[in-house]
Amino acid sequence: MTERTVAIASAQGLHARPASLFAQAAGAAGIPVTIAKTGGSPVNAASMLMVMTLSAAHGEEVVLTADGPQADDVLDSLVGLLATDLDAEV
């Protein structure tokens, strides 16, 4: 199991637009990916609704995990996405 920790860069946290972009990328990864607040229960990263239930705010850390081929590359890509202010790219 591969794991990465990243702080949410989006100014408004993981609300609808950033959660949707992140979930789409996680779903396209081709391997199961989970996301959790540090110390919290993991949820399916490919589900926008589950990602939104985390209520992850700007600056909060989340933990991403994946298992499978290219897990390192997948998580690196998803970390890059969450480390970007997705609200600024409108």
Looking at the annotation, which residues are catalytic? 15
> Where are any strands of DSSP class E within 1-90?
2-7, 33-37, 43-44, 61-66
73: amino acid identity, one letter? D
Cβ contact 76:48 at 8 Å: no
